[in-house]
Structure 1
Amino acid sequence: MNNDFLSDFGDMSSGLGDSDSKDNQKLQKISGGELEKFAKSVLGELVNDNVPPIPENYKIYFEKHLDDKTMTFKKRILEMMEFENTQDNKQIFIENKVKKSFNSLNHLLQDIAMVYKNTEVIREVLEKKAAELSINSGNLNMLNVIESLQNDMKRYTSLLEKYSMHIKENFEYVNHTYKSIEEQSDFDPVYSIYNFKFLSKILTRCAEGYAKYNYQNSLLLFRVKKSVLDSVSPKDQVILLKNISKILQKNVVKGDIVACYKDGIFAVLLQHTNIQKAQSVAQTLIDNIYNTNFFMSSNEVNIDIQVALTLVKDDTSVDKTLEKVAKALDSSGKDKDPFSVVE
């Protein structure tokens, strides 16, 4: 790779200070001029790392370096960023709404089916009672009443069957549309984080970035030890894993990705982060998990987390990389090394 491909960018201080004076005043009003200095330093860091300063890379570096700033500065900038971009949150919100609406529609169809079934039961009871009365009684008035009820029930069930068919056809269309949305979704419905499909797509892109530009992206896998999960009920297992995913989301830099891998294993992708820095991040995340008290059904859970990490390269497929890192989880834990590093 040519290490001089960014040499044409010249002096970092020459081109960024020529903005309109009114815009400069606005920046200074927001952060006392610190935002402009920070923006320059981020661009400088990109050049120093020989990473092309395209918008996507700049965004990742900006968010990573923002974590090193003061809480006041970070809060003000994050507020600006949230105001400008809430696309992922909107997408998760919309997808969850669609899924809840589909579940409600599914329940409605089940209720309609139950109404139809009970109507059939009532019709059969009326026929049975009519037969009994015709044998045991000569009460014509009573027989006429029951016969009238039977005719009304037949008309009612005929209409119900007709509308049920229409409802079923429309539901099948909605179901087809829902499955199409679900197939295109990038988010996991249980944990509200990225799903495996999205993780696989991003890891493939990271491997290509390593091959073309030597981009350093690190992958971390987190798993709650099986003995810990076995000590709680299936319902509490889901709650425990949700809590773990929330801790990971809360404590990674905004540009990094938290996703589901499989079997309760969570993945954290640290973009533009070498393996040395990734080990430091892994230890911080592990500490955050161990510093949290987990209570399931009023009992405290003695958490044991297994972690493995690797640099995303192009020498193996994404699936094989994930399998290799997942296998390395067995070598880590509370009574072993805090994390395993896969070369």
Structure 2
Amino acid sequence: MERGGRYRAHDLGEPTSDLEKYAKEVMDAMIREGIPPTPSNFDAYFDKLLDDKPPAFRKRILKLLELEDGGDGDHQGVLEQHLKEAFGNIKKFLQHINLLYKNLRHLETVIEKRAFEADAIADKSTMKTLLESMKKDIKTMTNIIKKDANELKETYESTTELVKEVQEHAIHDERYGVYKKNFLIRKMQQEERLIKEFRHESTLMMVRASEEVIARLKSPKIRQLVLRTVARLLLKTSRRSDIVAHYDAGVFAILMRHTSLQSAQMAADRLKDLVGNTNFFVGDEEIMLDVEIGVARIDLDRSIEQTIVCALDALDIAKKIDEPCGVCPQDVEI
């Protein structure tokens, strides 16, 4: 830009950098296919077209996006983790107060015992007066602690309810580093509204670790480690616009926006190959990781629950026919 705020002519000409050229390509593709160029749609198409680019180009673009993101997407997860830690600290604090109260009660009992023993001591009047005075002081302290403990208990119970409410609305599953089921459902509802408005295609993918692999793992900790590995692989292979979530009982889901059923099947093939190259050792035994994958269209003629069930059925189909990916029976007919 020149002095005075005027732009040079070439600043407004054709794009020159790789990122500028690619952004123009994305916009042209959206206009050509009749996709409204909203920020959300542009983000999804930006990721979609990137899949077909050479690896070196994808790497350069993704590096730029990482620099732009700056890690802000993890803010919600960090906040939820801090809330959990604060809850743990409050619980420990109350436990310490309870311990202090028990110790004071024990001290009161000791004083009473010593008062009984003092009856046998000469100059009982002086000794008794002293012990009674001590007993009175201890009782006063005990009443104060009781009152504080009750107030702390009420605060603790109130905080517990608040934390539980936060946990119910939390969107991150800390066990696997992905979203929770409630967030997935919300995003599917939002995607249905977008599909109704703009008529694009989106797909739901379900993924679970092979039951044969899980059955060979006797340790719950090892099973949890395997599921975390699956979650990391899903995050690694998914687009930024995809929603990766833990659905239930070790089954993961990916909401793939602006993705046809055929494209989702191709993505499933890539995921299957990546997982097939992942192994781990349990003692001296080497175990190759494997997953089952099922896909279903986000179909406005059925409910979200029906689409999820359809994708889960496709998981069983993949296992039955021994294919990389099973397809919802209703969508096969289409």
Partner Cα separation in structure 2 for residue 309 and residue 181 of structure 1:
32
Q: Which of 50, 54, 73 is equivalent to 1:66?
A: 50
- In the superposition, relative to structure 1, how do residues 269 and 154 fare at CA in structure 2: closer, same or farther (>3 Å)? same
| Per-residue Cα deviation, 1:274-311 (whole angstroms, up to 9, x for no partner) | 01110010111122122112345675444342211111
Helix, strand or coil at the partner of 1:261: strand
| Per-residue Cα deviation, 1:127-167 (whole angstroms, up to 9, x for no partner) | 4x3476368x5475887776565444423322322222332
Q: What is the correspondence of 1:1-343 to structure 2 with a 5 Å cutoff?
A: 21=9, 23=11, 28=16, 33-85=17-69, 86-124=71-109, 126-127=111-112, 129-130=113-114, 133=117, 137-138=120-121, 140=124, 150-230=135-215, 231-296=217-282, 300-333=286-319, 336-342=322-328, 343=331
| Per-residue Cα deviation, 1:198-217 (whole angstroms, up to 9, x for no partner) | 11111122233333433211
Comparing 247-256 with 42-51, greater Cα deviation is found at 42-51
- In the superposition, relative to structure 1, how do residues 211 and 148 fare at CA in structure 2: closer, same or farther (>3 Å)? same
| Per-residue Cα deviation, 1:55-75 (whole angstroms, up to 9, x for no partner) | 110111112323443455444
**What is aligned with 1:14?**
none
**8 A contact 2:261–2:296 mirrored in 1:** yes
Comparing 202-211 with 328-337, greater Cα deviation is found at 328-337
- In the superposition, relative to structure 1, how do residues 335 and 317 fare at CA in structure 2: closer, same or farther (>3 Å)? closer
How far apart are 1:329 and its partner, in Å?
2.0
Comparing 56-65 with 227-236, greater Cα deviation is found at 227-236
Partner Cα separation in structure 2 for residue 302 and residue 55 of structure 1:
41
Partner Cα separation in structure 2 for residue 297 and residue 143 of structure 1:
70
- In the superposition, relative to structure 1, how do residues 335 and 146 fare at CA in structure 2: closer, same or farther (>3 Å)? farther
**8 A contact 1:211–1:313 mirrored in 2:** no
The one-letter code matched in structure 2 to 1:77 is: I
Partner Cα separation in structure 2 for residue 146 and residue 228 of structure 1:
70
**8 A contact 1:304–1:334 mirrored in 2:** no
Q: Which runs of 5+ in 2 are unaligned?
A: 1-6
**8 A contact 2:292–2:318 mirrored in 1:** yes
| Per-residue Cα deviation, 1:50-109 (whole angstroms, up to 9, x for no partner) | 221111101111123234434554444334333433432222222222222222222322
**8 A contact 1:305–1:334 mirrored in 2:** no
**8 A contact 1:223–1:266 mirrored in 2:** yes
How far apart are 1:268 and its partner, in Å?
1.0
**8 A contact 2:292–2:325 mirrored in 1:** yes
Partner Cα separation in structure 1 for residue 264 and residue 116 of structure 2:
81
Q: Which runs of 5+ in 1 are unaligned?
A: 1-18
Partner Cα separation in structure 1 for residue 192 and residue 121 of structure 2:
88
Partner Cα separation in structure 2 for residue 288 and residue 121 of structure 1:
63
Helix, strand or coil at the partner of 2:214: helix
**8 A contact 2:181–2:247 mirrored in 1:** yes
- In the superposition, relative to structure 1, how do residues 213 and 124 fare at CA in structure 2: closer, same or farther (>3 Å)? same
| Cα RMSD after superposing both structures | 3.0
Helix, strand or coil at the partner of 2:173: coil
**8 A contact 1:206–1:215 mirrored in 2:** no
The one-letter code matched in structure 2 to 1:90 is: H
Partner Cα separation in structure 2 for residue 75 and residue 244 of structure 1:
22
Partner Cα separation in structure 2 for residue 254 and residue 107 of structure 1:
39
- In the superposition, relative to structure 1, how do residues 143 and 282 fare at CA in structure 2: closer, same or farther (>3 Å)? farther
Helix, strand or coil at the partner of 1:219: strand
The one-letter code matched in structure 1 to 2:231 is: S
- In the superposition, relative to structure 1, how do residues 165 and 217 fare at CA in structure 2: closer, same or farther (>3 Å)? same
Q: TM-score, with normalisation over the residues of structure 1?
A: 0.80
Q: Percent identity?
A: 31
